[in-house]
Amino acid sequence: MELKSTHVGQRFAQHPYNRVCLLNAGVEVSGEKHQYLIPFNQLVDIRCKRGIVWGELECELPSNQVVRLHGTEWNEIQHFFHYLIDIWKKWSQEMSSICSDILSEQVQEIEKYLIQDSWFTHAQLIQLQNQINSRLNALPMPLARLNEFTSCRQNYAVCQHWLHLSHQALCDINQYWVARLFKQYSEFF
């Protein structure tokens, strides 16, 4: 499916993009001199706005970057927008399931550190944070969208907590381990 700016819209909008084409897993926005491929895994949001004369399609990317298509007929842009949103949401649901599985596995790894029967070192924390970052970077969806999905929200929050764990929190974890040891071996102490 494809959406083009009107000839008059192209001339008045004076914008580098005048055509958007729906691909299997993304959109291609192009103009006479410019072409931009936006995979679904980089889309943060898609908006449709009505101007005074024409419509505008906005594709938001990470870091608040926005790619716009101006000068299109309002009815055509609405039809394209709704079709694109439906496909993007279906894709997002499939990817959120994958993200949920990956995040769940990561939280299980985190829990292993919490129940380990030893001192939790700073080196182990760095190793865990590197593992979390690696898994988050491998997710098939922008991190900014993970809170949209209930299946991802809680585990993503746990991962974020551990990425920003303070030195004091690390000390508290180790104090809790020492307290467990005292309780477990109270007859020796």
Q: What are the pLDDT tens digits along the chain (189 aa)?
A: 888 876 665 666 566 778 889 999 999 998 888 888 999 999 999 999 988 778 889 999 998 899 988 778 889 989 999 999 999 999 999 999 999 999 999 999 999 888 877 888 888 899 999 999 999 999 999 999 999 999 999 999 999 999 998 878 888 888 888 888 788 777 776
Cβ–Cβ < 8 Å for 40, 92? yes
Pick the CATH number of 2-86 from 3.20.20.80, 1.10.1040.10, 2.30.110.10, 2.30.29.30: 2.30.29.30
Measure the CA–CA gap between 60 and 154, rounded to whole angstroms.
24
Query: Which of 121, 112, 104, 34 is closest to 69 using CA atoms?
Result: 34
H or E stretch including 4? strand 2-4
Q: What is the pTM of this model?
A: 0.81
Tell me which DSSP letter residue 63 carries: G
